[in-house]
Amino acid sequence: MTALICGSVAYDNIMVFEDSFRHHILPDKIHILNVSFLVPRLRREFGGCAANIAYNLKLLGEDPLPMATVGHDFGPYRDWLRQWGIRTDHIRTLDDYYTAQAFITTDLDRNQITAFHPGAMNRSELNKVTDATGVTLGMVSPDGRTGMIEHAEQFAAAGIPFIFDPGQGMPMFNGEELRRFIDQSTWVTVNDYEWQLLKDRTGWDVEDVTSRVDALIVTRGSEGSSIYTASAEYEIPIVKPAAIEDPTGCGDAYRAGLVYGLLHKLDWETTGRIASLMGAIKIEQHGTQNHIFTRQQFEDRFKASFGRSL
């Protein structure tokens, strides 16, 4: 069983400004804004939806296959993925581009200023779903616009069931395009904000979506998540984390849990709880690929969290 995860691979450059932006950005001077922030602390993390999901699937004992386009600076990231035994067969390097990168500056009030350079991600259509063999399940997650459209078409044409996960990429698509994605996909997953946007753009509600896909999964942060099918609704509780360090990447960890459950044909209540636990484990660590656990540790925590064995 192999899951092909189409999406971004990116570097996250995270900086901390040890003051408040509001002390340096003057409202009456916005029209001539020219500010500089000293950031003594800097972390460079490995990120991107496809790689984050693949990392979490690897922790769960799977052999995920990320598909992405990266730039000439991908070397350290490639070494990291290979260190974890994550295949890079379908991560294409484009020498004329940089790997996608986010530059995030956070102040002491936890406000953020982010700049994102898509780089090689914008050429994701160069990869074809049919380039991979032995794929039993697919995922279309945030990536280059053309790549997302073509990969969905290719999964559907190949008869490979796939999850549509528009995420931050949703603003790139109009209602007609989003309706097409849903019609092609087998499952749809969004957070609560994205669900509202999806409803607004498509004009569809829960019943409209679940009449077209096997399940709609909506995550709601600290309020848990909901899994809707044509015949039932499952409310998935959260797992209380030991600490809340960094929510970045929690959605990707949750989605890895969904993929795991689907690969193993588990029921929705079990699948949702695996996903919920994955999100809690991630939030306890900074960065999107710094958490780690053994299979036994995961099973023990699952039982402690939900009162039953996995």
**pLDDT attached to residue 233:** 98
HSE-CB for 46 with a 13 A CA cutoff: 21
Pairing label, strands 162-164, 10-16: unpaired
- The residue with greater pLDDT, 300 or 112, is 300
Q: Which of 18-22, 61-65, 148-152 has the lowest mean pLDDT?
A: 18-22
Please give the pLDDT value at position 111: 82
pLDDT at 117 over 90: yes
CB 276 within 8 A of CB 236: yes
What percent of the chain shows pLDDT beyond 90?
A: 85
Structure tokens at 233: 């609704």
The domains of the chain are located at 3-9+48-98+121-306
pLDDT at res. 119 = 97
Residue with tokens 């073509």: 150
Q: Which residue type is seen at 276?
A: S
Tokens of 232: 């039932």
Cα 6 → chain centroid? 10
Does residue 29 have a pLDDT over 80? Answer: no
Domain 3-9+48-98+121-306 CATH assignment equals 3.40.1190.20? yes
Q: Is 269 exposed, middle or buried (0-12, 13-18, 19+ CB in 10 A)?
A: middle
Residue 194 has pLDDT above 90, yes or no: yes
Give the position of tokens 């991630």. Answer: 282
Residue 105 φ/ψ region, left for φ over 0, alpha for ψ in the -120 to 50 degree band, beta for the rest = beta
Answer whether 127's CB lies under 8 Å from 147's CB.
yes
In the predicted model, is pLDDT for residue 67 greater than 90?
yes
**What's the mean pLDDT in 128-139?**
97
Is the pLDDT assigned to residue 30 strictly greater than 80?
A: no
Alpha carbons within 13 angstroms on the beta-carbon side of residue 249 total 31
Quick check: 276 pLDDT over 90?
yes
pLDDT at 25: 81
Q: Where are the beta strands (DSSP E) in the chain?
A: 3-6, 10-16, 41-47, 65-71, 90-94, 100-106, 112-117, 137-140, 162-164, 187-191, 215-219, 225-228, 233-236
Average pLDDT over residues 33-62: 93
Instruction: Give the pLDDT of residue 28.
Output: 76
Q: Which neighbouring-strand residues pair with 190?
A: 218
CA 159 distance to own-chain centroid: 23
Phi, psi of 139 (to 5 degrees): -145, 135
